[in-house]
Amino acid sequence: MLQRCARVARIALRWARAMRDARYHLAYTASKDGAVTLKVANFPLRSVWEVRFRMELVVGDAEQVAWPCATDVRACSVLADTKSTVDVAKLADQMPRDWRHAPATIWSVFRYLKNKTSDDDHFLGLL
C-alpha cells in the first residue's frame, strides 16, 4: 500500500510539473505550407482548444512591402466540460492590417482563450 501511494505521489508531481509548463509555454507546430496549429488550455473552464490558421505574405499595394497575415483562423474544442464554439475569426478581423497582423492575432486569440470565462462571448459580440 505504501509503495502504491509513493507511485501515485510521483505521478502527481510529474503531472503538476507538466501542467505548470503548459501554463507558461505556448506549444505550436508549423508546416512548410504556412499552416500553424497551437493548443490553448484554460484551467478554470477545464478546456483545451486547438487553434488553426494559415500564415500568408500579403501586399496591400505596389509601394508596400509584404507583411505576414493570419488567415482562415478557427478554434475547436479538444477537451471541454461544456461544448462551446468560439468564432475567433472575428478577433482576427479586428487586428490591424499591417506587419503586426499575424503576431497580434496569435497573441489575442491565445490570451482570449486562455482567460475566457463562460460568459465572455456576450461581451465581445462573438455569439
Q: What phi and psi values does residue 70 have, to the nearest 5 degrees?
A: -95, 115
Q: What is the pLDDT of residue 103?
A: 83
Among 103, 82, 79, 104, residue whose Cα is nearest residue 94: 104
Q: What is the pLDDT of residue 83?
A: 63
Among 97, 98, 118, 115, residue whose Cα is nearest residue 107: 115
From first to last of its 127 residues, the chain has per-residue pLDDT tens of: 777 677 767 766 765 665 556 555 667 778 888 898 988 888 888 888 889 999 888 877 766 667 788 889 998 888 776 666 678 888 888 888 777 788 888 888 888 888 888 776 554 555 4
Using DSSP's 3-state secondary structure scheme, residue 55 falls into strand
**Residues 72/93, Cβ–Cβ less than 8 Å:** no
Determine the distance from the C-alpha atom of residue 117 to the mean position of all C-alpha atoms in its chain, rounded to a whole number. Answer: 15
Q: What is the pLDDT of residue 70?
A: 87
Q: What is the DSSP letter of 87?
A: -
> And the C-alpha cell for 10?
510521483
Q: What is the pLDDT of residue 120?
A: 65
Q: What is the pLDDT of residue 53?
A: 92
Task: Look at the pTM and tell me if it is higher than 0.85.
Answer: no
Using DSSP's 3-state secondary structure scheme, residue 57 falls into strand
